[in-house]
Amino acid sequence: MGEQKFVLKLQNVHRQLGKFKIHDISFALEPGYIMGLVGRNGAGKSTLIKLILGVYSMDGGEIEINGISMVKEEKSVKEQMGYVLEEKLFSDGMSLIENARQYGRYYPNFKEDNFRKYCEQLELNPLRKAGKLSKGEYLKFSLAFALSYNPTLLVLDEPTGNFDAEARKKIIKMLREFVADGQRSVLYTTHLIEELDEIADYITYIKQGEIIYSVDKETLTDQYRLIKGRKSLLARMPGEGVIHVEENDYGISALVRYDKEREYPVDAEIYRPTLEDILYAQMAKEEAHV
């Protein structure tokens, strides 16, 4: 049996940035999948993205893109990566097409026709100046540029937060098409966790610079149950497995770690949670402990 291929592989990546530390992070992303990187603000998502993109150097560990080391072959690794970040990276004074030509030179697979095609899909005028784009349009432009050189890994940091519902749908569709050939992958962070249910195949949860888990969506949702019922249910809930309880006027809704052996109260309604339920509960729990 041949060795398993990964588009992205991190092994014991660590980095100290002032008082903040990224601790021995390891995870891998197979080709053809979309991974959502989630965590509260300040958890280290953007730092990790910058480490992956080679903007921050590592104190130790290894980052590989398609088996090529970022440290040893930064140039060829970067040729294979597309990125959409919140920061403004392009030259404001140049038009979109001028920017694309200027920076496309560094990517051997860049094709101007591709860029124009994606601009059309995203309803962007390639002759407009980059400095005059709104935040949402700027992200669309970054995405059009990133797709135009056909990378194998697309890294997106909060890509859809500034889009309206229609644009968000369109971009999600484009990302699905991007991974459809089974050769390419997407890693992205988002504030909108309900979006992950729709698109992510894998979830990597980061907390204070540490990976808490990195699993596929099915495995994750299988590990929990959402229990709903009257408030009196609260007293009969299994103690140690409860992640988060939400109370309202009508009753309670609790996320619990699922245990097949355990008996749950007969009057409780038990559901398989969505990804949103799980992540929301975990973040709320985290927030309560801060």
Q: Which of residues 87-106 bind other proteins (CB under 8 A)?
A: 87-94, 103, 106
Q: What is the 3-state secondary structure (H, E, C) of 58-113?
A: CCEEEEEECCEECCCCHHHHHHCEEEECCCCCCCCCCEHHHHHHHHHCCCCCCCHH
Place of tokens 């893109």: 65
Number of CB atoms found within 10 A of residue 219's CB: 11
3-state secondary structure (DSSP) of residue 266: coil
Assess 138 for contact with other proteins (CB under 8 A): no
Assess 55 for contact with other proteins (CB under 8 A): yes
Number of CB atoms found within 10 A of residue 260's CB: 4
Assess 56 for contact with other proteins (CB under 8 A): yes
Q: How far apart are CB 141 and other proteins at their closest, in Å?
A: 12
Q: Which of 35, 49, 53, 153 binds other proteins (CB under 8 A)?
A: 53
The smaller minimum CB distance to other proteins, of residues 107 and 115, is found at 107
Assess 140 for contact with other proteins (CB under 8 A): no
Q: How far apart are CB 72 and other proteins at their closest, in Å?
A: 12
The smaller minimum CB distance to other proteins, of residues 106 and 271, is found at 106
Tokens of 83: 């990125």
Which residue stretch of 5-13, 54-62, 176-184, 249-257 sits at the interface with other proteins (rule: CB under 8 A)? 54-62
Residues 236 and 1: their CA atoms lie apart, in Å, by 50
Helix (H) or strand (E) holding 275: helix 275-289
The smaller minimum CB distance to other proteins, of residues 268 and 283, is found at 283
Residues 10 and 12: their CA atoms lie apart, in Å, by 7
Q: How far apart are CB 254 and other proteins at their closest, in Å?
A: 19
Q: Which of 68, 101, 280, 285 binds other proteins (CB under 8 A)?
A: 280
- Dump the DSSP string for 196-230: HHHH-SEEEEEETTEEEEEEEHHHHHHTEEEEEE-
Assess 46 for contact with other proteins (CB under 8 A): yes
Assess 41 for contact with other proteins (CB under 8 A): yes
Contacts with other proteins, residue ranges (CB under 8 A)? 17-20, 38-42, 46-47, 50, 53-57, 74-79, 83, 87-94, 103, 106-107, 125, 128, 131-132, 189-194, 279-280, 283
